[in-house]
Structure 1
């Protein structure tokens, strides 16, 4: 299917819609990051309490995917997206007016559930319209646009926090939601070929598929390192190194630029080499960035630039792992794309949430915590990218060959 098919009307291409839908996640996560220290001070909380605004978002985002994926299969992508975006707008509006940290955390949880509807449905739309490496290419292209949004979000958030206060960053999330809702309502029609019974696939069937499992955990482990950096970086760069909020806004923006570069590289590299080879190379970059950061720290080198350079290397690999992992987990299940995207998304977010909890409760200094977590994430990525993923794709190819032989014999 191409953007000119009836699924997209009035000229907005498929990638533009997908970028807006995937963009709901970095806007919700990155735009308010520079305001975290101010939020902690405003409500009289400590670092860990303020970080609950992010961990609650991630927890709701992960759990909700288990439900919205099935709803997307049963009721269609369009209805799920419109309802999800409406909740996204409402949650951001509540957060901007929150009188207490508890209300803010609750609104962030609702925002996470709404984001789950957008992201899960977007992944299902890709599987509805594209298959195999074509789907991974479209996923990479969509994530290129998403990372461009992530690139500017913390910069805008830093300026807005300094000039208007932390509530302005939450209000901007609502504005983005309104724009996405209008785009979906006016340009997007249904892509799911069937609804209703397709939501009945069991989770056990998905969890027994090697490609689904390996791809999901690859994306989850890679995302864990990125989330750990988001959680800890304000307290490292602002708290330890004394950066201003505006200057700090450039830190996640630079990392987003590295992620964007990785998605562009992924899209072009996929056109020439098999998926396992692309992931193998990305795993090398993840190891170099994650373990390299720890080695620099042990060598006594701990500066903003040493942390940022290593993190950018890690994020370049992350930009390859995400499209390959997310699209690779859904690819074997064209009739159950919503459900597969939901369970895979839950695995990704649950992994990141568990790591985020460990980070929030760490007794180590923030910089040391970051080095340790990234090194462990890099080791897990290496095992998956160099061992589990190649084996899973070999098994999938062998299964397809057997199915083709049986079809020829019949």
Structure 2
């Protein structure tokens, strides 16, 4: 890829500084997955009523989406290392558009569940390619900082999506929500086609053959530190999806909120996640990512224990539940950028495959966790129990597998500096 193309990407006619443009485009791409998950949350009870399906069965459509996100990344990640970033991204996003349109006319819960898997596969392209592009351009603390900024952009979608879903449901059925997702996907196709250059040069691409791909996955899975960091990130995601899968039932059924109020409170939770991600770069100026990650994980365990106790004893009601959940989301805002940044810093040319395994295990763990809240009863205690369990397992993975005190410090070994990125040029991919 030529430096001229990257320079155009950095400081094109929009006049938006390079780092901000990268964050906006990649954040919107990565957000396709969360938007696909969150927009229809207020409609979960209505989907069950319309398709005559039990609550736990409807929640499995969420699990199907997460499985699609996990499986899709395992496929698309290696392809992005072999073919470059743009082609797999465009193909995956197109699949998401088609699947979203098909979900809008699904005649049964079974068909809807299958199509949700395909939706997840399509949305996974934005997730894995977005992370790979970050690794193409940045490493070390700069990578963690960029991931924090991406999660800021992503955080806007959990804030907006349930509220938007509730608004759409005032004018249309839940099927209209999926038509909206199809339109969003079409917009992203245009954005990628016109605004995202290739970041992986041809001479840095890897073989797309099955054998080399499996060997790369084998190398990653034999790396104890990488696997441990993936587990930490995945269990943080599991805690987040425990909240995502249970919140609609807890807020609307247990506490009697309408769809619009639910959307506002759900979005307020996402604000705390965003606050954590945006405080993270401030702390990165003084502390190493491994130190921030350790403190955030251990703080999450303490908060989860308090939340579990409050809901088990029925103490504090809705205010106590909100305070505990929001504090857990704040701690997750520090975990979610730093664990992937530490994991991906070890792999450059195989960034797509490494990001695929990272994302697949994150969403796979989230998929396994999301039905737990329904099995436990879809109430505040069930949601708190699942969130606390995920954070406790994440702490165990960090201390027993990663052993953060053994990790090297990450200097500003990025391919770029803040001054370069806020100037006229982006770096050539390394």
Contact residue 288 and residue 409 of structure 2 kept, 8 A: no
1:183 is matched with 191
How do 1:323-402 residues align onto structure 2 when only pairs under 5 Å count? 323-360=337-374, 362-364=375-377, 366-386=379-399, 388-389=401-402, 391-392=403-404, 394-396=406-408
Contact residue 7 and residue 191 of structure 1 kept, 8 A: no
CA distance in 2, matches of 1:280, 1:327: 14
- Asked if 1:265 corresponds to 2:276, the answer is no
2:420 is matched with none
Of residues 313, 320, 330 in structure 2, which corresponds to 1:316? 330
Question: Alpha-carbon deviation of 1:321?
Answer: 1.0
Contact residue 62 and residue 116 of structure 1 kept, 8 A: yes
What are the superposed Cα offsets for residues 128-165 of structure 1, whole Å, 9 maximum, x if unpaired? Answer: 00011111110110111110121111111112113322
Contact residue 15 and residue 141 of structure 1 kept, 8 A: yes
2:205 is matched with 195
1:34 is matched with 42
CA distance in 1, matches of 2:101, 2:300: 37
- Asked if 1:168 corresponds to 2:176, the answer is yes
Higher relative contact order, structure no. (Cα contacts within 8 Å, ≥ 6 residues apart): 2
2:424 is matched with none
- Asked if 1:116 corresponds to 2:118, the answer is no
Question: Alpha-carbon deviation of 1:10?
Answer: 5.3
The secondary structure found in structure 2 opposite 1:152 is helix
Contact residue 279 and residue 385 of structure 1 kept, 8 A: no
2:93 is matched with 85
How do 1:236-247 residues align onto structure 2 when only pairs under 5 Å count? 236-247=250-261
Question: Alpha-carbon deviation of 1:64?
Answer: 1.7
1:402 is matched with none
2:291 is matched with 277
1:408 is matched with none
Contact residue 211 and residue 328 of structure 1 kept, 8 A: no
1:159 is matched with 167
Contact residue 262 and residue 316 of structure 1 kept, 8 A: yes
The secondary structure found in structure 2 opposite 1:335 is coil
Question: Alpha-carbon deviation of 1:396?
Answer: 4.8
1:56 is matched with 64
Task: Tell me the number of residue pairs that the alignment of Structure 1 and Structure 2 aligns.
Answer: 396
Question: Alpha-carbon deviation of 1:78?
Answer: 0.6
1:292 is matched with 306
1:142 is matched with 150
Question: Alpha-carbon deviation of 1:365?
Answer: 5.1
1:5 is matched with 7
Give me the TM-score of the superposition, normalised by structure 2: 0.87
Question: Alpha-carbon deviation of 1:168?
Answer: 2.0
Contact residue 229 and residue 342 of structure 2 kept, 8 A: yes
Of residues 230, 244, 249 in structure 2, which corresponds to 1:230? 244
2:27 is matched with 19
CA distance in 1, matches of 2:260, 2:90: 34
CA distance in 2, matches of 1:221, 1:3: 38
1:125 is matched with 133
What are the superposed Cα offsets for residues 18-59 of structure 1, whole Å, 9 maximum, x if unpaired? Answer: 111111012101111001110000101110111122110011
CA distance in 2, matches of 1:10, 1:215: 39
CA distance in 1, matches of 2:4, 2:118: 33
User: Structure 1 residues 371-380 or 56-65, which shifts more?
Assistant: 371-380
Identify if the C-alpha distance between structure 1 residues 55 and 204 changes in structure 2 by more than 3 Å, giving closer, same or farther. same
Contact residue 246 and residue 378 of structure 2 kept, 8 A: no
Identify if the C-alpha distance between structure 1 residues 365 and 174 changes in structure 2 by more than 3 Å, giving closer, same or farther. closer
What are the superposed Cα offsets for residues 162-186 of structure 1, whole Å, 9 maximum, x if unpaired? Answer: 3322122211111211121111100
Instruction: Point out where structure 1 has 5 or more consecutive residues left out of the alignment.
Output: 399-410
CA distance in 2, matches of 1:218, 1:3: 37
What are the superposed Cα offsets for residues 244-294 of structure 1, whole Å, 9 maximum, x if unpaired? Answer: 111111122011101110110112211210111111221233123321111
User: Structure 1 residues 195-204 or 145-154, which shifts more?
Assistant: 195-204
What are the superposed Cα offsets for residues 177-201 of structure 1, whole Å, 9 maximum, x if unpaired? Answer: 1121111100111101322338644
CA distance in 2, matches of 1:168, 1:289: 38
Identify if the C-alpha distance between structure 1 residues 297 and 235 changes in structure 2 by more than 3 Å, giving closer, same or farther. same
Identify if the C-alpha distance between structure 1 residues 209 and 6 changes in structure 2 by more than 3 Å, giving closer, same or farther. farther
CA distance in 1, matches of 2:167, 2:327: 26
Give me the TM-score of the superposition, normalised by structure 1: 0.91
How do 1:211-230 residues align onto structure 2 when only pairs under 5 Å count? 211-230=225-244
